[in-house]
Amino acid sequence: MVMTQETRKYQAFYTRSIPIVDYMIEKLSLKREDRIFEPCGGDGVFAEAILNWNKNANIDICELNDNAFNILQNKFYNYTTANIRQCDTLLDKDLIFYSNFGGIYDKIIANPPYGAWQDYDKRNKLKKLFPNIYTKETYTLFLYRCIDVLKVGGILSFIIPDTFLNLHMHKAIRKHILTRTKILELTLFPSSFFPGVNFGYANLSIITLQKCNNKKECLENSFKVINGFTHVEQLANVADNKLNVLTFMQNEILKNPDCAFFVTDNSEITEAINNTRLQIGDIARCVTGFYSGDDKKFMQVISSGLKNGKNYNLVDVKTINREYKDYSGILEGFKGDKCFLPVIKGGNTKYLKPESWFMNWSKEAVKHYKTDKKARFQNSQFYFKFGIGVPMISSSSITASLIDNKLFDQSIVGIFPKDETLTYYLLAFFNSPTCNQLIRTINPSANNSANYIKKIPFIMPDKTKLEHITSNVAKIIALINENGSFDENIEVQVNNMIKSLYGF
Ligand SMILES: C[S@@+](CC[C@H](N)C(=O)[O-])C[C@H]1O[C@@H](n2cnc3c(N)ncnc32)[C@H](O)[C@@H]1O
């Protein structure tokens, strides 16, 4: 799809996928007498499919954008039961009125805008109208409003990013869904199934739910989560035995930390998350690192061939300061030319990163970092300390490398165990498949921000295991220091020990 300004403003990504449209319509179990709502019409794909099925279907369509509204009017000119209104679904007075009545629609279908831009005035209005919901993300507001305007017993099907299932900011909408509706089915699939869209940060989901005003019934409801899709046509037959089908009860999800949906068929993982005595946040400080405000100006690279390093100046090795570790005034910066210090950045290197990036740490530069609006001199008590760095974004598995008394930037979450003797054990843990399964269950997106890392269950190994793992990690680090690589058999042994501790 060509991304015009208008597409971006209204997030007008239309559902040009027959399998997606057919699946969602099928989920509504439409009846001829249903009163139907399409809260963000676009060019009318859903309405068209419904009117093809029943040309007298009673359908209300809202659309904000002039062009799309005109298209809808022309397209459905001859359909007297299709009522098209140009309005803002989130602020519209009629819809607020219907909500106050407990809802009027039997069926609702939507592909709402995701993260559409709202000006500040509108954001303030939205905050008043939806006090508990995160207002910077539009799709959850559409979902909330549509649950409101649905009749008790009415069914809604929405195609939306899967971020509402786990992200902290969406806790309130999860609670609302779990206690005010019965989820009928949830399908999860790659965003690339949606023509023209492929956002790296999340997958897509289709949630179908039924409004219910009995909380007990909602919580006793069990529903299927279907994932493992390899192609979009599989939506036509979700009973296909190649798909992965999991069943959950709503009261189980409500009990999870932050009411997050942990979509895994391994109950040991969910149990570990729910029943742990200690979490990483209890035994270590997890903090985001430093930002200069202008890295192109303040950061330099060791070689011009370094990945992502081509727009940075080469560091003059004579300006690298190697004696900085014992300098007590380090948070004030250095006088003189020897003022470049190594900094750990993102990138998925395990155990130990080569020294490739250097930050200007002169007195003047540090003064700038402390006063510049864009710079982030945050969590400075952890700069140049001994800990572990986990990249904020990891495309494949989570990785961790040592922060051996270096600076770490904001693409890294620094993990500093309260008991320093646990550092190598934690380094092994954060590189293990066990930890990867835990973090991907807590948050399936590629994002490992400090808040999710803090929630990972921590199991203290006994003294023998701790020593064994620690000495093996020391060997790995020594090998990397000597040859730039390590013996993978040692890693396998360490991973197996961690697996035996957690059970997976
Ligand atoms: C993601 S598109 C989907 C359109 C259509 N339902 C489909 O699936 O092809 C979202 C549509 O919502 C419209 N829209 C954006 N914000 C809106 C709002 N606040 N109220 C009503 N419509 C809105 C956009 O103009 C766009 O046409």
Tell me which residue has its CA closest to atom 15 in ligand 1. Answer: 10
Lowest-confidence segment of 89-93, 198-202, 316-320, 476-480 by average pLDDT: 198-202
Domain-ending residue, one of 204, 236, 263: 263
How far, in Å, CA of 221 to CA of 141, rounded? 24
Q: For 487-502, what is the HEC assignment? A: CHHHHHHHHHHHHHHH
Determine the distance separating the centroid of ligand 1 and the alpha carbon of 500, expressed in angstroms: 50
DSSP string across 458-472 = E-PPPHHHHHHHHHH
What are 51-89's pLDDT values in tens digits? 999 999 999 999 999 999 999 999 999 999 999 999 999
Determine the distance separating the centroid of ligand 1 and the alpha carbon of 40, expressed in angstroms: 4
Who has greater pLDDT, 449 or 25? 25
Evaluate the CA torsion angle 471, 477, 483, 485 in order and state its sign: positive
DSSP string across 131-145 = TTS-TT-HHHHHHHH
- Tell me how far apart the 2 most distant CA atoms of the chain are, in Å: 81
From the list 261, 96, 269, the residue with the least C-alpha distance to 175 is 261
Is residue 63 within 8 Å of residue 88, measured between CB atoms?
Answer: no
| Per-residue b or e along 116-128, where b marks 16 or more CB atoms closer than 10 Å to that residue's CB | bebeeeeeebbee
Phi first, then psi: give them for residue 13, nearest 5 degrees. Answer: -95, 110
Q: For residue 117, is pLDDT > 50? A: yes
**Pocket of ligand 1, beta carbon within 6 A:** 10-15, 40-42, 45-46, 62-65, 68, 88-90, 111, 113, 116
Instruction: Supply the pLDDT for residue 443.
Output: 87
Is residue 60 within 8 Å of residue 71, measured between CB atoms?
Answer: no
Looking at the CA of residue 16, tell me the nearest atom of ligand 1. Answer: 9
Q: For residue 430, tell me if it sits in a domain.
A: yes
How far, in Å, CA of 49 to CA of 35, rounded? 15
Q: For residue 227, tell me if it sits in a domain.
A: yes
Instruction: Supply the pLDDT for residue 199.
Output: 65
Beta strands 299-301 and 357-360: pairing type?
antiparallel
Across 35-54, average pLDDT: 96
Q: For residue 275, tell me if it sits in a domain.
A: no
How far, in Å, CA of 202 to CA of 190, rounded? 8
For residue 260 the two structure tokens come to: 């997050």
For residue 96 the two structure tokens come to: 């607020």
> In sequence order, what are the beta bridge partners of 360?
340
> In sequence order, what are the beta bridge partners of 362?
334
Confidence class for position 2, pLDDT limits 50, 70, 90: very low
How far, in Å, CA of 411 to CA of 288, rounded? 8
Residue to substitute in 40, 76, 118, 194 for testing ligand 1 pocket (most ligand atoms within 8 angstroms of CB): 40
Q: How far is CA 8 from CA 136, 141, 419, in A?
A: 15, 18, 48
On whether both 86 and 34 belong to a single domain, the answer is: yes
DSSP string across 437-453 = HHHHHH--SSB--HHHH
Confidence class for position 8, pLDDT limits 50, 70, 90: low
On whether both 309 and 234 belong to a single domain, the answer is: no
Lowest-confidence segment of 298-302, 360-364, 390-394, 409-413 by average pLDDT: 390-394
Instruction: Supply the pLDDT for residue 168.
Output: 87
On whether both 332 and 434 belong to a single domain, the answer is: yes
On whether both 254 and 403 belong to a single domain, the answer is: no
Instruction: Count structural domains, the chain.
Output: 2
By CB atoms closer than 10 A (0-12, 13-18, 19+), residue 413 is: buried
Q: What does pLDDT average to over the chain?
A: 93
Q: For residue 274, tell me if it sits in a domain.
A: no
Phi first, then psi: give them for residue 190, nearest 5 degrees. Answer: -65, 145
Q: How many CB atoms lie under 10 A from the CB of residue 2?
A: 5
Q: For residue 94, is pLDDT > 90? A: yes
Q: Which helix (H) or strand (E) holds 204?
A: strand 204-211
Confidence class for position 396, pLDDT limits 50, 70, 90: confident
Residue percentage of the chain with pLDDT more than 70:
96
Q: For residue 295, is pLDDT > 80? A: yes
Phi first, then psi: give them for residue 396, nearest 5 degrees. Answer: -105, -115
On whether both 439 and 406 belong to a single domain, the answer is: yes
Confidence class for position 192, pLDDT limits 50, 70, 90: confident
> In sequence order, what are the beta bridge partners of 224?
185, 247
Q: For residue 242, tell me if it sits in a domain.
A: yes
Across 405-432, average pLDDT: 97
Residue to substitute in 7, 8, 10 for testing ligand 1 pocket (most ligand atoms within 8 angstroms of CB): 10
How far, in Å, CA of 105 to CA of 182, rounded? 16
Evaluate the CA torsion angle 376, 382, 384, 390 in order and state its sign: negative
On whether both 238 and 359 belong to a single domain, the answer is: no
Instruction: Supply the pLDDT for residue 318.
Output: 96
Q: For residue 272, tell me if it sits in a domain.
A: no
Beta strands 385-391 and 412-417: pairing type?
antiparallel
Instruction: Supply the pLDDT for residue 14.
Output: 82
For residue 241 the two structure tokens come to: 């035995």
Determine the distance separating the centroid of ligand 1 and the alpha carbon of 62, expressed in angstroms: 8
pTM for the predicted model, two decimal places:
0.80
On whether both 158 and 299 belong to a single domain, the answer is: no
How far, in Å, CA of 23 to CA of 238, rounded? 9
Who has greater pLDDT, 404 or 136? 404
Looking at the CA of residue 68, tell me the nearest atom of ligand 1. Answer: 27
What are 134-169's pLDDT values in tens digits? 988 899 999 999 999 999 999 999 999 999 999 889
Evaluate the CA torsion angle 407, 409, 411, 413 in order and state its sign: positive
Q: For residue 207, tell me if it sits in a domain.
A: yes
User: Where residue 55 sits, what CATH number does that domain have?
Assistant: 3.40.50.150
On whether both 217 and 318 belong to a single domain, the answer is: no
On whether both 90 and 139 belong to a single domain, the answer is: yes
Q: For residue 406, tell me if it sits in a domain.
A: yes
HSE (CB half, 13 Å, CA atoms) of 227? 16
On whether both 52 and 140 belong to a single domain, the answer is: yes
| Domain ranges, residue 52 | 5-263
Q: For residue 1, is pLDDT > 50? A: no
Determine the distance separating the centroid of ligand 1 and the alpha carbon of 394, expressed in angstroms: 32
Q: How far is CA 394 from CA 361, 411, 494, in A?
A: 28, 10, 21
How far, in Å, CA of 390 to CA of 428, rounded? 12
For residue 244 the two structure tokens come to: 């992965």
Is residue 160 within 8 Å of residue 139, measured between CB atoms?
Answer: yes
What are 211-249's pLDDT values in tens digits? 999 999 999 999 999 999 999 999 999 888 889 999 999
Q: How many CB atoms lie under 10 A from the CB of residue 430?
A: 26
Confidence class for position 269, pLDDT limits 50, 70, 90: very high
On whether both 483 and 339 belong to a single domain, the answer is: yes
On whether both 294 and 257 belong to a single domain, the answer is: no
Q: For residue 3, is pLDDT > 60? A: no
Phi first, then psi: give them for residue 344, nearest 5 degrees. Answer: -90, 130
